[in-house]
Amino acid sequence: MTLPWDAATSAVQPPLAVVDLDAFDANAADLVRRAGGKPIRVASKSVRCRTLLTRVLSQPGFAGVMAYAVPEAHWLVTSGVEDVYVAYPSVDRAALAALAADEVAAQRVTLTIDSVEHVELLAALDRPHGLRVAVDVDASLKVGPLHLGVRRSPVREPHEAVAVAQAAAAAGLSVVGVMFYDAQIAGLPDSSPAVRVMKKRSAESLAARRGAVVEAVRAVTDLEFVNGGGTGSLHVTAPDPTVTELAAGSGLYGPTLFDGYDDFTPRPAAAFALPVVRHPAPGFVTAFGGGYVASGPPGWSRVPSPYGRRGVKLVRSEGVGEVQTPLQGNGVRGLRLGDKVWFRYAKAGEMCERFDQLHLVSGDRLVETVPTYRGEGKNFG
């Protein structure tokens, strides 16, 4: 099988990365469909390219950016983005002070807090008054001693959220939002009946608790937004009237971790190509580079997967290497030195930390080559 990406990038020396604009736009449209009319805030960590952030924000159904670092948010708003929510707490005092000193940027950026400690850190800045904040609330499922979800916020119950909101208001901060990220629903493939039952129970439990938390917080402050969901749970979260906006990003690129969901199937929109540099033995080739393992629990689900050519497999005893990746199988026959082997990444935006450029393609045509965050000299952690 020959991918149209081969022809589109025939003049480009690999290693290289592509984003298929037709698949990207189709995935965006499907996210909007599953959002059921609620606006989607784009998770920048899953895109990490200003050109593509601008592209998706220009499409109906998307509004605002969910950033992952304060310097990133400040950079984006000075570039023209008008609404950025930093969805992770920051202790970068220099970046926070710079934001507080920039009156225009401070009105376009919302920061995350989940404790009085965070309030005290912000209150110690030279000009904290008027900084916008949102309270991050734990969205995990607890069954007895079991904690099913990610370890994020210590705030879980209505009175805890109210205490943080009141402390923030007393310190002169403007409490404008509440966030709930249901990682155990949004980020977990439907891999077994047990997982499906857990996700259903979690969604029901969270909906009830989310409503109680938001009602309690609204009693003490006016909220502009209640954020919820992720790529894997838009259709689950959207019907909740408490939620005013959703969040998604990974579904735009369609990485391999989203191959196992029952209710949606993103099109593979992002991939990278490595050149063949060796023929170490019959039935084997070696590609240059490739050790681009995604974050999360260690295991084969985090490793890039060969794509587009049947019968090409990783060598399990070596995996993907720091400077070379061996491949085996019937599919490697006929591969010559310099030929491209395509891979899909396990997660979405992390791929961009390996490449300075994304080659935007449509069919077999190279449309444009644009910089990633890395290509613009930006590293936000």
Which domains occur in the chain, in start order?
A: 4-17+265-373 (2.40.37.20), 21-252 (3.20.20.10)
**Does residue 127 register a pLDDT over 80?**
no
Query: What mean pLDDT is predicted for residues 56-64?
Result: 97
d(CA 83, CA 77): 7
Q: What is the mean pLDDT of the chain?
A: 94
Which residues, in sequence order, are bridge partners of residue 370? 358
Q: DSSP alpha helices (H): ranges in 36-157? A: 50-57, 70-78, 93-101, 103-106, 116-123
Residue 338's pLDDT is 96
Residue 328's pLDDT is 97
* Least-confidence region, from 148-162, 182-196, 210-224: 182-196
Which residues, in sequence order, are bridge partners of residue 65? 42, 84
Task: Tell me what percent of the residues of the chain surpass a pLDDT of 90.
Answer: 85
The confidence band for 187, taking pLDDT boundaries of 50, 70 and 90, is confident
User: For the chain, how many helices (H) and strands (E)?
Assistant: 12, 19
Which tens digits make up the pLDDT trace of 251-310? 999 999 999 898 899 999 999 999 999 999 999 999 999 999 999 889 999 999 999 999
Place of tokens 């960590």: 45
Which tens digits make up the pLDDT trace of 204-240? 888 899 999 999 999 999 999 999 999 999 999 999 9
**C-alpha dist (Å) from residue 187 to 72, 158, 224, 257, 284:** 24, 25, 26, 8, 35
d(CA 313, CA 35): 36
Question: With contact defined as beta carbons under 8 Å apart, do 229 and 186 qualify?
Answer: yes
d(CA 166, CA 172): 10
The radius of gyration of the chain's CA atoms, rounded to the nearest angstrom, is: 22
Which tens digits make up the pLDDT trace of 108-123? 999 999 999 999 999 9
Which tens digits make up the pLDDT trace of 299-344? 999 999 999 999 999 999 999 999 999 999 999 999 999 999 999 9
**Does residue 144 register a pLDDT over 90?**
no
Residue 1's pLDDT is 60
Query: Does residue 268 have a cis peptide bond before it, meaning omega lies within 30 degrees of 0?
Result: no
* Contact partners, residue 228, CB within 8 Å, separation at least 6: 139, 179, 180, 181, 182, 210, 237, 240, 243, 245, 246, 247
Q: How far apart are the first and last CA of the chain?
A: 37
Q: Between residues 148 and 101, which one has the greater pLDDT?
A: 101
Question: With contact defined as beta carbons under 8 Å apart, do 340 and 6 qualify?
Answer: yes
